[in-house]
C-alpha cells in the first residue's frame, strides 16, 4: 500500500492528485522533538539512498544528500505507523509532516513525502513508488536536494513493514550510516571545501594538502562530508584518503573538484621554470589538459579560478610563462594553467 503526500495545510485533509511542495514565508513552528529514533541509517535505508540516487542520475537529475534531520523525522513516522497501524501522512496523534520535520530541526520550507506499507526491502519500496505516477514524480523532483529515509516493522500491525521518505529542498546536515566509525580524511592536494556535495555548491574555503578532517557521514555523488571549524562541509573523494585508504569518485561525477589529481602526468611542458620572465618560444603552440584543470587569473594557486576545463581540452599557449604556469587562450578567455597538467 502506498500514499501520496497530503495537502500540508492543517485545514485540508483531501489527498492531492500530485505530491505537494509546500512553501512558507515564515519558519515552521516546532512542536518539541519526540523521542529520537535510530540516529543513523541502517543497511536497507542506505541501499535505498543508492537506488534512488542512481535512478535520479539515470534521469539527468542531481542526487540527494541524506539529511540527519529528515531521516530522524522519517524514522519516527515509520515507527509511528508500525506501532499504531495508522497509515497516513499525518501521525497518529495528528502531527503533520511539516510539524514532524520541524520538531527534528529541519528548517527548509520545501518538502514532500512518500509512504508505503507492506514492502520490506529498499528495492521493493523503490519499485512500488516507481509504479505510481505521483510517488515517482516526488522521487524525480529536481527541486529536492535532501532526503530522509526511515523504515520500521511490527509483525502485529496490518502491513508488517512501513517506509517513509521525506524530501527537502535544502540539504542541511549529513546523516551517518549505522556501523560507520567516521574516520579521518587527509587531503592529498590543495582542494575546495564546499557547502554541499557537488561542484554546483558554493566554495567555503580551500585547504592545503596534508590537512586532517573528521569524516561526518557517508559520501554523496563523489563528495564526502567533513567537519571543519565546527561546520560540516564537503570535499571531493578524489582528493582525500580516509583512514589511509585512497578514495575515488563514481562514474556519474563529471570531474574531480576542482584541482588536478596529486599524481600529474609527466610531459615535456612540465619542466622547472628557469625564471619568472616570459618566453615566447612556445607562442601559438597547442597544449592539452591531462586532467580536469583550473584556469586561473594569475600564475599561482592563490589566484582566482576563472573556469575549469575538462581533461582533453585544447588551448593555445601565448608564450608567457611564470612560476610553473603557462598563460593560455581557451576560446576567448586568457588565463593561467599549471604546466604540470599540460602536454604538447
Q: Cα dist. 117→16, 37, 111, 223 in Å?
A: 19, 19, 21, 33
Reported as a pLDDT band with limits 50, 70 and 90, residue 246 is low
C-alpha cell at 327: 598563460
Using the predicted structure, report yes or no on whether residue 257 has a pLDDT greater than 60. Answer: no
Classify residue 338 by burial, with Cβ atoms within 10 Å: 0-12, 13-18, 19+. buried
Query: pLDDT (tens digit, 9 = 90+) per residue, 94-130?
Result: 999 999 999 999 998 899 999 999 988 999 999 999 9
Query: pLDDT (tens digit, 9 = 90+) per residue, 279-325?
Result: 446 788 898 988 778 888 889 887 877 777 777 888 999 989 888 88
Query: pLDDT (tens digit, 9 = 90+) per residue, 200-228?
Result: 777 888 888 888 888 877 777 778 888 88
Q: What is the DSSP letter of 51?
A: H
Phi, psi (rounded to 5 degrees) for 203: -85, 125
**Count of beta carbons in the 10 Å neighbourhood of residue 13:** 11
Query: What contacts 164, CB < 8 A, 6 or more positions away?
Result: 74, 75, 77, 78, 81, 113, 114, 115, 148, 149, 150, 151
Domain with CATH 3.40.33.10 in the chain: 43-168
CATH number of 285-343: 2.30.30.40
Using the predicted structure, report yes or no on whether residue 8 has a pLDDT greater than 70. Answer: no
pTM equals 0.51
Residue range 42-58: mean pLDDT, rounded: 88
Using the predicted structure, report yes or no on whether residue 264 has a pLDDT greater than 60. Answer: no
Q: Is the dihedral of CA 221, 226, 231, 233 positive or negative?
A: negative
Lowest mean pLDDT among 181-185, 236-240, 315-319: 181-185
Using the predicted structure, report yes or no on whether residue 33 has a pLDDT greater than 50. Answer: no
C-alpha cell at 235: 570535499
Domain with CATH 2.30.30.40 in the chain: 184-246, 285-343
Reported as a pLDDT band with limits 50, 70 and 90, residue 327 is very high
Q: Order of strands, edge to edge, in the sheet holding 212-214? A: 212-214, 184-187, 240-242, 245-246
CATH number of 43-168: 3.40.33.10
The mean of the pLDDT values for the chain is 75
Q: Cα dist. 306→75, 138, 337 in Å?
A: 44, 36, 11
Look up cell 544528500; give the residue. Answer: 65
Residue range 78-89: mean pLDDT, rounded: 90
Q: What is the pLDDT of residue 248?
A: 54
Tell me how far apart the alpha carbons of residues 227 and 207 are, in angstroms, rounded to a whole number. Answer: 13
Question: Which homologous superfamily is 184-246 in?
Answer: SH3 Domains (2.30.30.40)
Residue range 22-43: mean pLDDT, rounded: 46
Look up cell 526511515; give the residue. Answer: 150
Amino acid at each position: 500500500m502506498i500514499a501520496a503526500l497530503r495537502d500540508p495545510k492543517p485545514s485540508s485533509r483531501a489527498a492531492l492528485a500530485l505530491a505537494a511542495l509546500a512553501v512558507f514565508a515564515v519558519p515552521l513552528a516546532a512542536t518539541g522533538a519526540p523521542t529520537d529514533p535510530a540516529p543513523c541509517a541502517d543497511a536497507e535505508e542506505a541501499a535505498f539512498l543508492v537506488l534512488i540516487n542512481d535512478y535520479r542520475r539515470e534521469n539527468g537529475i542531481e542526487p540527494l544528500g541524506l539529511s540527519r534531520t529528515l531521516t530522524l523525522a522519517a524514522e519516527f513516522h515509520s515507527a509511528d505507523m508500525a506501532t499504531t497501524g495508522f497509515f497516513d501522512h499525518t501521525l497518529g496523534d495528528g502531527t503533520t509532516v511539516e510539524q514532524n520535520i520541524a520538531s527534528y530541526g529541519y528548517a527548509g520550507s520545501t518538502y514532500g513525502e512518500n509512504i508505503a506499507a507492506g514492502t520490506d526491502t529498499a528495492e521493493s519500496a523503490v519499485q512500488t513508488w516507481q509504479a505510481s505516477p505521483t510517488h515517482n514524480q516526488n522521487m524525480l523532483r529536481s527541486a529536492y536536494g535532501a532526503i530522509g529515509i526511515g523504515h520500521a516493522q511490527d509483525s502485529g500491525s496490518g502491513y508488517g513493514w512501513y517506509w517513509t521518505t521525506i524530501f527537502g529542498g535544502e540539504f542541511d546536515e549529513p546523516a551517518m550510516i549505522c556501523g560507520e566509525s567516521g574516520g579521518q580524511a587527509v587531503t592529498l592536494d590543495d582542494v575546495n571545501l564546499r557547502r554541499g556535495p557537488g561542484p554546483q555548491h558554493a566554495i567555503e574555503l580551500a585547504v592545503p594538502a596534508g590537512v586532517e578532517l573528521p569524516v561526518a557521514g557517508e559520501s554523496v555523488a563523489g563528495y564526502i562530508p567533513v567537519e571543519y571549524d565546527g561546520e560540516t562541509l564537503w570535499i571531493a573523494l578524489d582528493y582525500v584518503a580516509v583512514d589511509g585508504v585512497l578514495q575515488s569518485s563514481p562514474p556519474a561525477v563529471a570531474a574531480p573538484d576542482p584541482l588536478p589529481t596529486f599524481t600529474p602526468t609527466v610531459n615535456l611542458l612540465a619542466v622547472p621554470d628557469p625564471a619568472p620572465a616570459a618566453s615566447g618560444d612556445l607562442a601559438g603552440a597547442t597544449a592539452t589538459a591531462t586532467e580536469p584543470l583550473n584556469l586561473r587569473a594569475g600564475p599561482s594557486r592563490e589566484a582566482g579560478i576563472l573556469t575549469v576545463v575538462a581533461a582533453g581540452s585544447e588551448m593555445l599557449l601565448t608564450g608567457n610563462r611564470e612560476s610553473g604556469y603557462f598563460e593560455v587562450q581557451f576560446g576567448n578567455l586568457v588565463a593561467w594553467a599549471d604546466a604540470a597538467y599540460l602536454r604538447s
